[in-house]
Amino acid sequence: MPSGTNGYQPDYATIESFFVHERIPDNWTTRITPYSNMDVTNQIVTMYLENPVLFGGNTADGTFDAINFGAIKDGKIEAGISAKDTSCLLYQLATGQIPGYLNGLITPTVEALSFVATKLGPEFANLGCPIPLT
């Protein structure tokens, strides 16, 4: 939420106005370019890489089973991952199969997965992400 009046750099006064006073700051101007999915994805990767956590889970015998899925290798996302690959990974996680251990909690229908894919699909189609089959 940086303002053009401050060189498009976030500052405490601007953030405080939005979140504490719940109002748009005086003389606030919006970004010159829209904040895109790639911008969000770059920030997600940057924040994750500052404090990475392995993807996976504990197994019945007490060991950790790291997953391999798309850009996740041995439970880790590599530091050099591109925003495009991260966007595709997020898309695949949102539209892909639900892991078996969640079946007792979540049982999505084909219609629900299809709905998510059609809502997310157009945005991610230009990235060349694999489209899930439902």
Q: Is the pLDDT of residue 53 over 70?
A: yes
pLDDT tens digit sequence for 60-117? 787 888 877 777 888 888 778 877 787 777 777 666 655 554 455 555 566 666 676 6
Can you tell me whether residue 53 is helix, strand or coil?
Answer: coil
How many whole angstroms separate alpha carbon 8 and alpha carbon 2? 5
Amino acid at 47: M
SS3 state at 77: strand
| Weakest mean pLDDT among 10-14, 18-22, 71-75, 129-133 | 129-133
Q: Which of 134, 108, 106, 109 is nearest to 121 (CA)?
A: 134
Domain boundaries, the chain: 1-32, 33-125
Contact partners, residue 72, CB within 8 Å, separation at least 6: 55, 89
